[in-house]
Amino acid sequence: MSTDCIFCSIVAGDIPGRIVHEDGEITAFLDANPLAPGHTLVVPDEHTRRLNDLPDDTARELYEAVHALVPAIESAVDADATTVAVNNGEAAGQEVPHVHWHVVPRSADDGGGPIHGAFGDRPDLADDELDGIADRIRDAR
Ligand code: AMP
Ligand code: ZN
């Protein structure tokens, strides 16, 4: 646990949170400044800054919790869909340095648009650049 982490404090019960799931490894609670009713955050109990830093078994448990919560959240707030996303690192907009999936209920007329709206102009990549990127990702695995 990190003593100055707000999500660690919620997991530990030291500050209040509207908990919707806890199993000793993973905790989910309502976002305090929701983008939509039912906006939920799903976190590993162990303080971990980024997805990259999660042990494999915790990553699996985290995604299993997301997978179970998505239909429950949609049902609870009568949503048509959800946006499920991680701001993974400060440069990607992560403000709380404790890994968290956002599950944001959506409806066709909520005006929110797809996740692509978070980006500006798309890069114009040639085939050889795309081939090189794919090669480097495969090599880095
Ligand atoms: P991110 O920008 O991905 O790090 O998102 C952090 C999220 O944490 C934001 O959506 C905040 O509204 C939410 N948040 C911050 N403090 C609290 C809190 N005490 N309880 C619940 N959600 C919080
Ligand atoms: Zn933490």
Say yes or no to pLDDT of 98 above 90.
yes
pLDDT tens digits, 16-45: 999 999 999 999 999 999 999 999 999 999
pLDDT at site 74: 98
For the chain, how many helices (H) and strands (E)? 3, 5
Domains, the chain: 6-140 (3.30.428.10)
**On the CB side of 89, how many CA atoms lie within 13 Å of its CA?**
5
21 noted as active-site residue: no
Percent of the chain with pLDDT over 70: 100
Q: Which ligand is nearest to the CA of 19?
A: 1
The pTM of this model reads 0.96
pLDDT at site 75: 98
Note whether 77 and 38 are within 8 A (CB): yes
CA-based nearest residue to 33, from 102, 134, 136: 102
67, containing H or E segment:
helix 56-76
96 lines ligand 1 (CB under 6 A): yes
- Mutate-to-test residue for ligand 1 from 30, 31, 102, highest number of ligand atoms within 8 A of CB: 31
Say yes or no to pLDDT of 3 above 80.
no
pLDDT tens digits, 41-63: 999 999 999 999 999 999 999 99
